[in-house]
Structure 1
Amino acid sequence: MSKYLLPLILIFVVLYPKFPLLGVSGTFVAVRLEDFIVAAAIIFWALTALRQKYLPVHRSILLYLLTGFVSVFSAIFVTKTAGLNLGVLHALRRVEYMALFAVGFHFLRNKNQLHFLIRTFLVISLAVSLFGLGQQFLDWPVISTTNSEFAKGLALTLGEGARINSTFAGHYDLAAFSIFPLLLVISLLTLPQIRHKWLLIGMGSLAYWTMLLSASRVTFAAFFVTAALFLLLIRRKLWLIPLIILAVFSILVSPQLLGRYRELLVDHVFAAADEEVPDALKPPEILEDRSFNIRLKAEWPRALRAFYQNPLLGTGFSSVGLAVDNDYLRLLAETGLLGFFAFGLILLRIFKSARPYLQTPHSPTDAFIIAATLGLVGLLFNAVFIDVFEASKIAIISWTLLGAAEKAKMLT
């Protein structure tokens, strides 16, 4: 049973679209099939492994969750900045996501099981890519949660200028997910013992194409930064040249990605450098990069105001709304400095234990560890502009893979 539990979680969470099963009164949140799968896995873990010996990273996760609950208690009963239902619901969501680190850690038992998990994850990635390409070219259905109406489970098709999301809630989530299989493929390709590398190249190419079609600027940059970091770690500096060429070529052949980078450069970089004399008769130029302006003028200031209200504990989970589009500001706003540093301690523990493996991989186990670690680095880049750790699918996948990678370090 334990051999198939982690692959089962990944299959259901990644591939099953976000159809709602039950609505939560007073919120836009819905209970979905993935929640029952995850809950069953956590209960199974609690019944079989709750008393086992844990590592410092597990205690760091527990510290963060305890800090979060203290913050919620303070927000509900002291500062009155969060409601009881929403505050507790969001706190329990964090428990659901982060408990999967322990699930991934406990139910990975040996290298054969890890190899099976790697193969399963690659097949899942292939299915995600094919479904996303089907949305782009064959009008396959799109299930999105980007607004309250779409979140009801409506099956739509892509409109003009829309971006694919495959089985995820939105195109940002799909792009963030793509980093993991891409880094895994790159890591595996460096192993001389891997046969049928053309299969890996094909899977990686489809995943990369899917990422381009999602047209996420921050994820595109995050992938190339982490890929460059991988090449530096394995001492292949000359490979940076074709990597840079690939990045430039990809931007040029991807109309949506090229347009979004052009918006960023023209509206914020060049416009800032071009200081014209004000003309009272000339209307002010309206910036076109709406998503960045919403962050800069509404979401981020709101999060900072919440942080200033209670710098130590924050204003509680759910207090800054559905979107902040910066996970670091969300951490500070909702859980204050205590929660921010508690979460940072988790990351520090993960990177510290991964340090011996950040070199040329010699086995699929090493490749999985370095891919998961650099995948986390990619998520941290995404977190500057996206609430990536709040996206349910990304959070579940990430904590499960990171837990499995932590156990894989003990199998080498």
Structure 2
Amino acid sequence: MCKHMKKLFQFCKANVLFLLTLALLVFIPLYPKLPLVDIRHTWVYVRIEDFVVVFVLFFWGITALRHKNSLITPLTVPILLFWFIGAVATIHGILLVFPNLGDVHGNVAFLSMLRRIEYMSLFFVAFSAMRDKRFLPWVLVALTVTVLGVTLYGIGQKYVGFPAFLTMNEEFAKGIPIRLSGLSRVSSTFSGHYDLAAYLVLVLPILVSMVFGIRNWVARGVLVVSALLGFIVMVMTVSRISLLALVAAVGLVVFVQKKKLVLVSLPIIMNVSNTYFAQKTVRQLFSSNITNIYAHASSSAALVIPYTLLEADPVLFIEPNAPTGENLPQGTGYINLSLSPVTRKLGHFYFEPILKVATTSADVYVINGNFLLKKVLAYDLSFTTRFQGEWPRAMDTFRRNILFGSGYGSVGLAVDNSYLRMLAEVGLLGFGTFLAIFALTVMYIRKTLPDVNDYKTRSFIIGFVAGVGGLAINAFFIDVFEASKVAFVLWLLFGVTLGTLHLYGRRVLDLYKLLKAALMSPIAVVFYLLIFTVVLYSSIMRNNFVGDDFTWFRWAADCGSNEVSQRCNVNVQTIVRYFTQADGFFYRPGAKIYFLIMYWVFWLNQSIYHAVSVALHFGVTLLVFLLARKVLRSSWLGALASFAFLMLSGHAEPIFWVSATGFLFTAFFSLSSLLSYISWQDQGKRVYFLLTLVFFVLSLLFHELGIVTPLFYLLYSLSSEGWGEMRKRVGNVRHGLLFVPIPIYLAVRYLASSHWLSGDYNYNLLKLPFNAIGNAIGYASLGVLGPVSLPIVQIIRSAARSHMIVAAVGVMAIGFGSIWAWKRYEGMMGKEDKRIWFFGVGFFLISLLPFIGLGNMTSRYSYLSSVAVALLLVYLLKKTYLFLLGNGRAIAVLIVIIISSTFGLFQLIQHQQMQSDWYDAGEATRKFVVAMDRAYEDYWKSEPMEFHFVNVPIRVGEAWVFPVGLPDALWLVFRNPNIRVFSWPTVVAAFDAVDYDAKNQKVFEFVSSGELIERRKLRISQ
């Protein structure tokens, strides 16, 4: 006995850090967050776990002084660099940013920075502790015991009444034990249900993976029971995103361990998940939204109203529970409140406030005034707080300094997105460094895992990778990397995993060489493009709808019913009608289906529509990257071309304008079809042929531009293989099948009675050559110079219309000059140069074929042709660099950087101006709707009405306001099919069209300030 005790003592003495690591893995999740030391300006407290962690770090520091290699780990440099950037960002924030903000404090920022250091320091403790391969099973025991304790306590909270210690608001954070109701979300020993769910997402995949790695059936049984209890408690947390992340993580584990089991269980999992999430997606119709209620109510006035005197349908507004944490801007609980349809006008309503103290009675106020009762679609509180409250604030904070951010503590306690929080607090540098930690971890695991010959260790690592992956998904909606219990466990497991792998490493790995290669890899380019897209276009989320948007929404909402809550059902009958009945409009069934589904799911939430547009633009940019790699035969040049395309401002209208989303879809599917065709040519696989055909058909459904897609196939074959090979390929039967959708599309379009050629969308055969050349030059200048070139192009076009003979001479001169230039310099161009020029110019002209002969030009038509502009610009930049190499590589690089930076700045300035224009245009439509609400009378909903508008705004700069769509905007608000709308240049002209004192004829004037003023035609008494 003494011998065993002596061995145990020696083991403990030699492995104190390992025992402390196990203790932390058990203690931190199980011990409630009870406050010890209060901190000014926040309800976050210093707790006992902080003192325990500081003690462990102090002990580790002593051991580190004895063993100088304790800091040599694969992650030391990026972790230290992340801390340094965080310190610089916080110092910068305290000195320059915080003085201009009202609700941030230096002490909170400093302690927030120390908290991040505290979290990640545990990595070094756990890494140093793993000195023996046999330690890993004990880590599994600690995790299993902890999960059992956490889950059993959570079940006890639900059914026995175990107390919860929450930190979701200032009162709860004081450590007061709370007994949860039967409807409350379980939090177990954690500070909130989201933290508990995030912990389970991280740990449960490890337990599930170890079920496959352990052969002992008793141990397997314990792991299965623990995992099942964890899943049960996860459901009790009612955290949908966490459950989704957990299913994804466990699915990854099972796929790696047992692929056949995934194939069998996948249909069941998808069916159960679809049912659960469909039931939990809350969409409710609220009947009112009243602001500043207490300003209208007097608690000193008491009045008893007999029940018999109450109106038949009284309106009672019950004060909703305020969101925990930070308050939202007024009205953000509702989706597009201003555009929501009006139910009726109110002279008063009844208001029942939340009781501040327990009582057997309730106060109800009668609020008098002029109010509107509206039918409003509202999402659950989680969606609202994130998408309309916390995330926009985080993005605003990030924009103050995109490189270093605004410092820790600059975005408040809750952002509910760890990535946005990181961007806001430590900027792109800190965010990139943090991601580098994870990238290095993946590389280290990938290079070392083949050397691991123990199946249990491999299973643990697989579970850890899956758990971290699930946590990464969770981080999009929850601050998981900042939640103390989750963060402590995460970095402990990082240290355990890498420390164990370090014991198996047989090779010295140059991770930073691998990291350098990864930073220049195609995946890294995709990430850079994503960040740049978000930075460039995130501000458009606040833009309101304009012009044609209201027409699309009316098509989605008008089902022959005047009910304000009516939305057309997404069913086969409606979709078939879109394909068979165009009603004189352009044949775009895909776009109609898109707006139908979006309106049905997201209603009038403009942020979602803009988010889809930005996502589509990002998708097109990725396709440009892939295409440019093929054409320019260089990943670097392909990346530059994709960034150039992203930066060009001339084609930005479809991104800003919701109505033009069809252009984005068409460009996406057309480029996808071309890339599928190229893959089919290179590899000959049938699946690429099918994808080529499918994407081509999809491009036709959103815009007529899709009809030119097969010409891209011919262009690519001709530019890469020449006439002979292209003829052979085109003669193939399968190539002929690629053109079959065109006659079918034209026939269906004709039968659907769609719009063909008339009005502005028509060709004048006499002027066709002039229009074609003029538009080609105009779109080329628009692609290179942006919207700033449009006024100059319009002046030249106007002058050409007035002097047709001079224009004809000019056209001939341009034609002969182009031929001479080609003959003169053709011999100086290499075969590769000719190929790139031929593809670029050909792509540009083919993309404009449907529009190049029209009598006018508009920037949205240049979207797809800008792909060619980006390719040729990058090609010219490359040629410029090669020309300058004679002066030395450094000089050539610097000059190219200066040229690129100047051009990029020129484009970005125009981007900002366009964003300002589109925001102002959206504000004009919002003010219009608000003004109409203000003037509303109940009879407007049912009686025939005439609305006469004077000086209707058409454009604000480069943005559209009401070119069309004004009648549809009124219909969306009032849902009266008997409304007639007229537009007049002057008030006098409008008065000539209405009667004196007409009740059902209203005249409104748009004044220069953007406001809408009602004008009345009154009789003047003699």
After TM superposition, the score normalised by the length of structure 1 is: 0.91
Aligned-partner SS, 2:178: coil
Question: Who is 1:146 aligned against?
Answer: 168
Question: Who is 2:425 aligned against?
Answer: 334
**1:11-68 superposed Cα distances (whole Å, 9 cap, x missing partner):** 2111101111111123212111111111111111111125315133121111101000
Q: What is the aligned counterpart of 1:64 among 61, 66, 82?
A: 82
Q: Tell me the amino acid that sits aligned with residue 73 of structure 1.
A: I
Q: What is the aligned counterpart of 1:317 among 408, 413, 418?
A: 408
Say whether the 8 Å CA contact 1:187–1:371 is kept in structure 2. yes
Moved more, 329-338 or 78-87: 78-87
Structure 1 position 345 matched with structure 2 position 436: yes
**Residues 44/238 of structure 1: CA separation in 2 closer, same or farther (3 Å cut):** same
Q: What is the aligned counterpart of 2:469 among 377, 390, 397?
A: 377
Q: Tell me the amino acid that sits aligned with residue 79 of structure 1.
A: V
The number of aligned residues is 401
**1:215-249 superposed Cα distances (whole Å, 9 cap, x missing partner):** 11011100111222223333514424325524644
After TM superposition, the score normalised by the length of structure 2 is: 0.38
Within 5 Å, give how 1:181-200 maps onto structure 2: 181-191=203-213, 193-196=215-218, 197-200=220-223
**Residues 73/364 of structure 1: CA separation in 2 closer, same or farther (3 Å cut):** same
Q: What is the aligned counterpart of 1:263 among 282, 300, 312?
A: 282
Shift of 1:90: 0.5
Gaps of 5+ in 1: none
Shift of 1:154: 0.8
Q: Distance in 2 between matches of 1:180 and 1:150?
A: 26
Within 5 Å, give how 1:228-239 maps onto structure 2: 228-234=251-257, 236-239=259-262
Q: Distance in 2 between matches of 1:156 and 1:3?
A: 35
**1:309-338 superposed Cα distances (whole Å, 9 cap, x missing partner):** 111111100001011111111111111111
Question: Who is 1:25 aligned against?
Answer: 40
Q: Distance in 2 between matches of 1:118 and 1:251?
A: 33
Within 5 Å, give how 1:58-207 maps onto structure 2: 58-80=76-98, 83-191=105-213, 193-196=215-218, 197-207=220-230
Say whether the 8 Å CA contact 1:233–1:359 is kept in structure 2. no
Aligned-partner SS, 2:97: coil
**1:234-284 superposed Cα distances (whole Å, 9 cap, x missing partner):** 3514424325524644775x7xx7642x327999xxx99xxxx97444723
**Residues 192/390 of structure 1: CA separation in 2 closer, same or farther (3 Å cut):** closer
Q: Distance in 2 between matches of 1:294 and 1:284?
A: 20
Moved more, 169-178 or 49-58: 49-58
Q: What is the aligned counterpart of 2:396 among 305, 319, 344?
A: 305
Q: Cα RMSD over matched residues?
A: 2.6
Aligned-partner SS, 2:378: coil
Say whether the 8 Å CA contact 1:224–1:247 is kept in structure 2. no
Q: Distance in 2 between matches of 1:394 and 1:338?
A: 24
Q: Distance in 2 between matches of 1:56 and 1:100?
A: 15
Q: Distance in 1 between matches of 2:453 and 2:174?
A: 44
Question: Who is 2:367 aligned against?
Answer: none
**1:62-85 superposed Cα distances (whole Å, 9 cap, x missing partner):** 110100000001111133365321
**1:93-128 superposed Cα distances (whole Å, 9 cap, x missing partner):** 000001011111111211222211111111111111
Aligned-partner SS, 1:341: helix
Q: Distance in 1 between matches of 2:83 and 2:168?
A: 27
Shift of 1:360: 11
Q: Distance in 1 between matches of 2:435 and 2:273?
A: 34
Aligned-partner SS, 1:287: strand
Say whether the 8 Å CA contact 1:228–1:240 is kept in structure 2. no
Q: Tell me the amino acid that sits aligned with residue 187 of structure 1.
A: S
Q: Distance in 2 between matches of 1:234 and 1:408?
A: 20
Say whether the 8 Å CA contact 1:191–1:361 is kept in structure 2. no
Say whether the 8 Å CA contact 1:191–1:362 is kept in structure 2. no
Shift of 1:3: 3.3
Q: Which has the higher contact order (CA 8 A, sep 6+)?
A: 1
Say whether the 8 Å CA contact 1:234–1:360 is kept in structure 2. no
Question: Who is 1:291 aligned against?
Answer: 382
Question: Who is 1:368 aligned against?
Answer: 460
Q: What is the aligned counterpart of 1:3 among 7, 13, 18?
A: 18
**Residues 247/132 of structure 1: CA separation in 2 closer, same or farther (3 Å cut):** farther
Structure 1 position 394 matched with structure 2 position 486: yes
Q: Distance in 1 between matches of 2:392 and 2:282?
A: 22
Say whether the 8 Å CA contact 1:24–1:31 is kept in structure 2. yes
Gaps of 5+ in 2: 1-15, 287-333, 345-373, 505-1022
Say whether the 8 Å CA contact 2:452–2:501 is kept in structure 1. no
Q: Distance in 2 between matches of 1:336 and 1:204?
A: 38
Q: Which has the larger radius of gyration?
A: 2
Q: Tell me the amino acid that sits aligned with residue 385 of structure 1.
A: F
Aligned-partner SS, 1:386: coil
Shift of 1:351: 1.3
**Residues 186/264 of structure 1: CA separation in 2 closer, same or farther (3 Å cut):** farther
Q: Distance in 2 between matches of 1:138 and 1:394?
A: 26
Say whether the 8 Å CA contact 1:168–1:174 is kept in structure 2. yes
**1:122-158 superposed Cα distances (whole Å, 9 cap, x missing partner):** 1111111100000011111111111110111111111
Identity %: 36
Structure showing the higher strand proportion among its residues:
2
Say whether the 8 Å CA contact 2:39–2:46 is kept in structure 1. yes
